[in-house]
Structure 1
Amino acid sequence: MHSILGAVNKLIGGNKLSILIYHQVLEQFDPMRPYEVTADIFNWHMQLISKHFSPISLSEAADHIKNNTLPKRAICVTFDDGYLNNLTVAQPILAKYKIPATVYVATAFTEGADMWNDRVLDLFKDANLTSLIIENKSVLLGDWDNRNRLAEEQLMRLKYLSIEERLAGVQQLYDDNNLPDPTPRMMNAQQIKQLSETGVEIGGHTVNHPILKVLSKELQFEEINRCKAQLEGWTGKAVKHFAYPNGSYGKDLTDETVQLVKDAGYETAVVTDWGTSSYGDDLHRLKRFTPWDTSPLKFHARLLKSRL
């Protein structure tokens, strides 16, 4: 069946670039993060990509798009946020299959603080807890499906607040329940440099991972430019690529945001709107695809469908 899908891919795959979005690659399945791939799943993802597609770096892809020279079945692998397991779990698998990658880092989380959304998810992860105080009410947690539903409600409540209000809201949840933070899961500056030295491209993802659309132009400028300066200081390399937090064009970013990213000197930027990119497309609004399937055939078929 893969050979048939591969043949179809050869017919439809020319002059289009697929960009995959990952966040974490987990050593073991996490019931509060059922959408994150495990090392086993990521391994066969990369094995399939190496066999049936043409993996290239984002820098190579940008040059090909500008020059209308994209190879057939071109694909890029990207990671958002800057998790430590991108270095410890994902990078050895990428190296095994000789697949380039880009990791977009939100720089505020390099000194021991987890991202706000992970802190929320971890509140609901302790199987020994049967209830939590949420907005001054005691809420029963129940099974994993209910815990995920409750966590999603809190994520949506907090997501579009200002940076300060969002962080305060998360901290209030921890204070109300008298719970400590879990072990940090993000890379520090030294680990980011280590990952860069393996050949993985490091990209910007703002400082605090805000929804840029809700910020003033001045605050957007600060988030976009300070992130770039920090990463270049840590890696000693130019940071050429950017990922908009959350990343839905129109909902999470505007044309003003796109122009600020261009003015900051980023050569490319990616959104989370699904699709492919090709010659003539805006390099600062490259589309991406989230590969959630846990079956190789479904993964292969869905990836082909995204290229139609």
Structure 2
Amino acid sequence: MNIHNFIQTKYNEPFIVQRADPYVYRHEDGSYLFTASVPEYDRIVLRQSDTLDGLQDAEEVTIWKRHETGKMSMHIWAPEIHFIEGKWFLYFAASEKDDIWALRPYVLECTGSDPIADPWIEKGKMQAADDFSFQDFSLDMTVFKNQDKWYCVWAEKVSVGKKISNLYIAELESPCRLSTAQVLLTSPDYDWERVDFWVNEGPSLLRHEDKLYLTYSASATGACYCMGMLSISSGADLLDPHAWKKERLPIMKTDWEKGILGPGHNSFTKSEDGKEDIMIYHARQYDEIEGDPLYDPNRHTYRMKILWDKDGRPVFDMTNNF
């Protein structure tokens, strides 16, 4: 492999190599689960550890493999594992060999209490509550609970001339079905969201005091990939797009001096004592990529401690990588 202008700094040593779209879940028993897109885009993997550090060397188990033909046979992307009302669910995107860009969100359910050892079953495509959700390129689904209600946020392309990827939100009826029509949260409005492709994707929720922060990724997947953020009061109507505030500038972007290029598609977890917020994200160490950046295997997983300013807003500082 020719890595071209590889940059080694004290900030960009990966936490886990060649794992993109990383998701870390800290369970109620304190254990951690890790999943991510693998470079082959052909399976879903899980790691488990009693500590966050332990995920680095934990055994990686394949819990599901793509189909040989038909739906879910291509581009197995961005899995997320969630524990909902006493059961394990896993959300991911997949397309099919005969239409490789026909990505849709799918759901797996674990048949037992051990997500590593117990079998997973397919629950099919996420079910909409309207006639227009999941009708085009849809991916990067995340779910969360707020004020005793479960919500779902995902990216979906719309075609009005140039195809653009927006973020939508809806309430959940069950882990596999929406109960409300989609609501548009954000479109790629700014120049930094429109490099090569017009993209908002990869949503992830961070809570702090009475605020919710929703980070997302923007632009194409090379060095221009960066992160934006929305915020809202936890007591507001999350289905009211006017209640959300969108940041004018990216919260994270390529830092050449630190050798962290194209940071994005993150998740959030807690430190082992529950006191610190940790961001898990992917990035590269170089930018000269042969071919489509999507098929370059060297998006690595990184982790960073989140700080909070005097106004209670998150501070994303890559010098806090560890």
Tell me the TM-score normalized by structure 2.
0.27
Q: Select the structure that is richer in strand.
A: 2
Bigger Cα Rg: 1
Tell me the TM-score normalized by structure 1.
0.28
Structure number with the bigger relative contact order (C-alpha 8 A, sep ≥ 6) is 1
